[in-house]
A = this chain, B = another copy of it.
Amino acid sequence: MPQISNYTYDEITIGQTATYSKLIEARDIQLFAAVSGDVNPVHLDAAFAATTQFGGCIAHGMLSGAIISAAIAMELPGPGTIYLGQTLRFSLPVKPGDTLTVHLQVTEKKDKRRMVTLDCKVFNQHDKLVLSGIAEVMAPGEKLVLQRPALPLVRIEG
């Protein structure tokens, strides 16, 4: 059984890092449209998107934000983390076929409320920064080692 575990507040150190990567496929853009309701033509209509400054369909900016939140929830601190706040600064568009890598680094700890601040940077496969920001979380108080749920199997039918 694959497992997932976390870093507790006491285990976390200033400067600690983690990474998390994801290939962004055309289907991810369709899934993000379905889950958010954002069916903007620049994301879903290839003919229209080709006429824009982007020259083709681009991913929703907040899809890259979702990858940051996944990095925090899955890697550092991991399960049991409570998300308090996030800033996001969008720098470059993301296209289908891009591989995004989130770099997290712990920059601050505050014992009150077990608050941890993380610097978040998302790079594409050309090492260009596409998104940056700062996350504030309440780190887990207890060590958790849990069964890792399977990724839901999703089929796009149209």
Contact = CB atoms under 8 A, between A and B. Distances in A.
Interface stretch (A8-16, A64-72, A109-117, A121-129): A64-72
A108 interface: no
Contact of A33 (B60, B85, B90, B152): B152
Interface in A42-83: 42, 44-45, 48, 60-63, 65-70, 73-74, 79-80, 83
9 nearest CB pairs, A to B: A38-B70, A62-B69, A44-B149, A36-B66, A30-B152, A61-B83, A36-B70, A31-B35, A153-B157
Interface of A: 4, 20, 22, 28, 30-42, 44-45, 48, 60-63, 65-70, 73-74, 79-80, 83-90, 146-158
